[in-house]
Amino acid sequence: MENHRSRLLWRFLLGALAAVLLLAAGAGWGFLMHARGVFPYATLKNAYHVLRPSAPRSAPKKAVHQARGAPDSIQRLANLPYLQGYRVASAGKAIRVYDRGRAANGWNLFASGHAPVATLMDMDGTVVKTWTVDAAKAFPDGSAETNRHARFLRRVHLLPDRSILALFDELGLVHLDADSRILWAVRERTHHDLFVDPTGGIWVISRDLRPAPELKREEPIWEDFLLRLSPEGKVLGRLSVVQSFLRSPYAPLLADANSSQHDILHTNSIRVLDGSLAGRSPLFRRGNLLISLKTINTVAIVDPDAEAVVWALTGQWYAQHSARLLATGNLLLFDNLGLMRPASRVLELDPFTQNIAWSFGGRAGEEMLSETSGFVDRLPNGNTLITESNQGRVLEVTPDRRIVWEFVNPNRVGKGDDRTATIYEMERITPSPSMSFPRPAGAAPGSGSPESASRPASP
């Protein structure tokens, strides 16, 4: 009896010891999983990336309170995914404000998130012309069917012969003639922006996923490239933005990129400098490329011959888009979240003294918010055309910050068409005699797309 009890006790003690050791070993393993990334850390992480929903459950509402956000919450805003629409639509006319005396006259070219259509619209909101393309026809390899970016054009550019360059995010670039016939299509992971230089050469941003041991990263990165294309759509050159940084004294900026992010640069605008400001600084010489890099909040100039960054600036903006150099030598950009609260602004600043010469947004009466995307252009009369992308709203403001033209996208997307379609960017085209468009009868904004034909576009 006594013997049996002591045996039981021993068994119990041994069992308890084994259990404790087992648990300690488990905890130790778990500790090392976090500290060293031992198995199955990478497996679980990859599984999470695959299973994670790619879009938020509910689109954020326009922020009512303008309280300062903690950097973390601002960071979250900057990483919203692309959607066809973000905001609950409000009823009202498409053209909300039009001061004929002060607004710059012209046509408005824009891409809207509701359909793969480029729209040319006059100042009164009447559609002059549309171009449309079916991604499945442009890219017959089947890639368009699985890609949600096939549903809209990310960037469009009007050429003098009334043809259009249209960029599908992650799918490729298409050249459409004046009747929307596909002239050529390039299958590349293009994204965000393109630029056509005076000789007709095309520059477009693209990317590829690759491992990056030289950056001491275990996970792969999206390496951005600047592609140079011939007017016929042939890829002539491919310049790595990552390598351009590593080759330059600005390499430390790469080290700042959030290590958990694959998209370490998120290049989102490109302009080829025309050399008119080369007298001001050799950095602005003809052919150099001005790019905007959202992840590292940096605007940079790349010398395409040296394939190296020759200048970069960061500090007064956050998650910016649409950087361009003005004739004055100032830098103009859309600063999505640099106010560190849910409010965007447009900044014009001297790239050397960093003095802010002009800004719009962030003040009372200048409410503006596009957490992602956003576009800005300076017009010939000195006004500024601002695309508040996620609101589907475009406004033209004077130098003294009066709104002289305002457009809200009448196109709807989402369940029950309850959301205003995103406008990625709007450009004001100055009418010229060489470019004329016969006005289609009874057209409304956005009516050129096969999808929206069945949907009444204007409320």
Partner 1 sequence: MPAETRGWRRFWIAAGILVAMLASLVYGYLIRRNHYFPYHLAIRTIKAFQPEPSERWHLARPDTGAGPGSPDHVKHLANLPYLQGYRPATSGGGIRAYDHSLAQDGLNLFVSAHAPVATLMDMNGTVVKTWTSDTAKAFPGFELRGPNTVHAQFFRRVRLTPDGGVLAIFDEIGLVRLDSASRIVWALRERVHHDFFVDERGEIWVLTRESKLVPDLRPKNPVWEDAVVEVSPEGRVVRRISLLEAFRRSSYDSMLIRMPPAEDIFHTNSIQVLDGSLADRLPAFRKGNILVSMPRLDAVAVLDPAEGRIVWALTGQWAAQHSAHLLPNGNLLLFDNLGLLKAASRVVEVEPLTQKMVWSYGGRSGEELLSETSGWVERLDNGNTLITESNFGRVIEVTPDHRVAWEFVNPNRAGEKKQLVATIYETERVGRDLPFLKDGKSETATGAASR
Looking at the Cβ atoms of 15 and 237, the one nearer to partner 1 is 15
Q: Taking contact as CB under 8 A, which single stretch among the options 106-114, 164-172, 186-194, 332-340 is the one that binds partner 1?
A: 332-340
- For partner 1, which residue of 337, 343, 346, 457 counts as binding (CB under 8 A)? 337
Please count the other Cβ atoms lying within 10 Å of the Cβ belonging to residue 250.
20
Instruction: Verify binding: residue 146, partner 1, rule CB under 8 A.
Output: no
Please count the other Cβ atoms lying within 10 Å of the Cβ belonging to residue 55.
11
Instruction: Verify binding: residue 420, partner 1, rule CB under 8 A.
Output: no
Cβ 170 vs Cβ 149: under 8 Å: yes
How far apart, in whole angstroms, are the C-alpha atoms of residue 332 and residue 324? 5
- For partner 1, which residue of 168, 203, 225, 318 counts as binding (CB under 8 A)? 318
Closest by CA to 206, choosing from 234, 239, 245, 174, is 239
Q: Taking contact as CB under 8 A, which single stretch among the options 69-77, 115-123, 143-151, 230-238 is the one that binds partner 1?
A: 69-77
Cβ 62 vs Cβ 87: under 8 Å: yes
Helix (H) or strand (E) holding 229: strand 221-229
Q: Taking contact as CB under 8 A, which single stretch among the options 94-102, 111-119, 354-362, 385-393 is the one that binds partner 1?
A: 354-362
Nearest distance in Å: CB 206, partner 1 = 25
Instruction: Verify binding: residue 339, partner 1, rule CB under 8 A.
Output: yes
Q: Taking contact as CB under 8 A, which single stretch among the options 150-158, 179-187, 335-343, 435-443 is the one that binds partner 1?
A: 335-343
Contacts of 151 (CB under 8 A, 6+ apart): 84, 113, 115, 116
Nearest-Å Rg of the Cα atoms of the chain is: 26
How far CA 351 is from CA of 221, 281, 288, in Å, comes to: 29, 11, 15
Instruction: Verify binding: residue 81, partner 1, rule CB under 8 A.
Output: no
Instruction: Verify binding: residue 256, partner 1, rule CB under 8 A.
Output: yes
- For partner 1, which residue of 8, 306, 340, 429 counts as binding (CB under 8 A)? 340
Q: How many residues touch partner 1 (CB under 8 A)?
A: 50
How far apart, in whole angstroms, are the C-alpha atoms of residue 230 and residue 145? 28
Looking at the Cβ atoms of 219 and 417, the one nearer to partner 1 is 219
Q: Tell me which residues touch partner 1 (CB under 8 A).
A: 19, 22-35, 67-71, 74-75, 249-253, 255-256, 281, 283, 297-298, 311-318, 337-340, 352-356
